[in-house]
Structure 1
């Protein structure tokens, strides 16, 4: 999320922009790609090649076990997808929507570490305009991107909704809430969620305007799956009040995790983060055959 200049603030008040303009100004900072997909001789399968910037922390064996491919969205973009097998007998598969200024190459080591510790496989994807994904990032593309990822997880891997946990971090909570408001799943995890774009840019905003972007606060009431909300109390990018408001609107919220002293990008470094996820996944969610 970025700050807005004085001129941009004036434009918002004097000439309210369309949601895509707000989204572009507030949210999207795609990094220079940290990975590529390398096709085999037949061109039917791809392997993951990571740049040094991805800061890979494991061996070639783990890298070779990551499956990658591209799938097309309903808006015509081709998005990069990654399936990380972390367990031979996983309780669930997590559909992970990452934060703003990273791509799935940078996240790959984190996915292995997280999945192996909570006994879940992880499926992730890059938003349009991120990594190897074509197109440009926009709010509408976010929703189309996660729909394509969901369909790939359902059809390519045959995983049923009751075995899928939808996890969103920061801007990734926007498509996560949208998807979860339309499809039931095993559970939803919202890590540093935002109420809406205007409420991030203008903290005193008390209502959702017609030109607002990312109106998760208006959709969260439709999420019928169990929801775990995680937020740092000293978040300098998306204020802690956003997490609180989202939690209070959840019909099936479980005990949240408020990480005292944590900011926007360091929640995972606190011991209670992993412990709360283990408790949630292993003991609070029933597994169905």
Structure 2
């Protein structure tokens, strides 16, 4: 769904323009006030007033970061209408669960026929930063039929029909709630749970896999076109190298995946669309290199774009091949060796 790429590139520019205008007007008024106060009362009072102004501007920027990252209302009506799997003739249950802080989350559980639902893997799907989970159903159809798996599609807080507002810690909490839900079911094979994350969902999946109490429940991890961190993406999208020198506390959302991937020990497949113009493919390569799993593979897909890599030939076959090899040769996580880089 290409609208998400355009949204992420164009909307930040517009928002930053609005923020800049507000900050410019605010700063101009304060500079004038400081000058007058300096002339009338001296520099000490003006200095403290200037510090206050700087704090207010920083606060405006800090709390606007959510608008730059999360886009649950694009396209229009995404918060009220979520396309159902039945549109693609998929059997499903519309499920509600509660996250760790009590936030109600909406999910779709799509099951294989009853006679084999407990004999196949179950995939926990984390989507990107815009729209809702229903916008990913075409990809889900391919996974359902090609991989022959059950699928739980989770809708983060503030997206689709889920309650609340998105935040980094909130999304991490929601991911844990999704895995807890799967482990509560008695009709699936909980020994083969796949955690899949694309783009922002990849950062959510990485965090989940770093938690020891949750990583032991994950059979394998699949990451597609995800980034190293939000500070890295901000420097790239805004085009200013100065952002690289800002302290981390300036960022409300950090998603430090490159740092966290070092703690991931579960088998991991990195799917990298080499035609991705939003998240640079070298970020996926860097994540792959830093991952310390004893069983990891990177799958470069030459014509894969950010949101449509799954359209490319060989996509599902290579995922299935990864899962079959994993089943036939279960890796020992304590080993340091890993699989070679594969190409389609």
Same fold (TM over 0.5): yes
| Cα distance change, pair 237–102 in 1 and its aligned pair in 2 (3 A) | same
Distance 1:19 1:228 in 2: 36
Structure with the larger strand share: 1
| Cα distance change, pair 91–207 in 1 and its aligned pair in 2 (3 A) | farther
Distance 2:282 2:309 in 1: 16
User: Residue 41 of structure 1 aligns with which residue?
Assistant: none
| Cα distance change, pair 57–67 in 1 and its aligned pair in 2 (3 A) | closer
User: Residue 276 of structure 1 aligns with which residue?
Assistant: 318
Shift in Å at residue 66 of structure 1? Answer: 0.1
Distance 1:9 1:259 in 2: 39
Once the two structures are superposed, the pairs formed by residues 136-175 of structure 1 within 5 Å of their partners are 136-157=165-186, 162-175=191-204
Gaps of 5+ in 2: 1-7, 24-53, 331-344
User: Residue 202 of structure 1 aligns with which residue?
Assistant: 235
Deviates more, 1:89-98 or 1:142-151: 89-98
Gaps of 5+ in 1: 37-48
Residue 93 of structure 1 pairs with residue 122 of structure 2: yes
User: Residue 58 of structure 1 aligns with which residue?
Assistant: 88
| Cα distance change, pair 259–16 in 1 and its aligned pair in 2 (3 A) | farther
2:296 is aligned, of 246, 249, 254, to 254
Once the two structures are superposed, the pairs formed by residues 97-116 of structure 1 within 5 Å of their partners are 97-116=126-145
| Cα distance change, pair 33–165 in 1 and its aligned pair in 2 (3 A) | farther
Residue 125 of structure 1 pairs with residue 154 of structure 2: yes
Larger Rg: 2
Shift in Å at residue 110 of structure 1? Answer: 2.8
SS at match of 1:131: coil
TM-score (norm 2): 0.68
RMSD over aligned CA atoms reads 3.2
| Cα distance change, pair 115–206 in 1 and its aligned pair in 2 (3 A) | farther
User: Residue 222 of structure 2 aligns with which residue?
Assistant: 189
* Number of equivalent positions: 269
Instruction: Render the CA deviation track for 1:104-163: whole Å, top value 9, x for unaligned.
Output: 222234323312211211111101111110011111110111111111111134656531
Highest RCO, 1 vs 2 (Cα 8 Å, sep ≥ 6)? 1
Deviates more, 1:203-212 or 1:96-105: 203-212
SS at match of 1:128: coil
User: Residue 43 of structure 1 aligns with which residue?
Assistant: none
Distance 1:214 1:57 in 2: 34
Distance 1:255 1:29 in 2: 31
SS at match of 2:248: coil
Instruction: Render the CA deviation track for 1:9-66: whole Å, top value 9, x for unaligned.
Output: 898x997669974751442111345597xxxxxxxxxxxx965xx696533xx3xx20
2:95 is aligned, of 48, 69, 73, to 69
Structure with the larger helix share: 2
Check whether the contact 2:122–2:189 (CA below 8 A) recurs between aligned residues: no
TM-score (norm 1): 0.80
Shift in Å at residue 239 of structure 1? Answer: 1.1
1:245 is aligned, of 286, 298, 303, to 286
Check whether the contact 2:72–2:79 (CA below 8 A) recurs between aligned residues: no
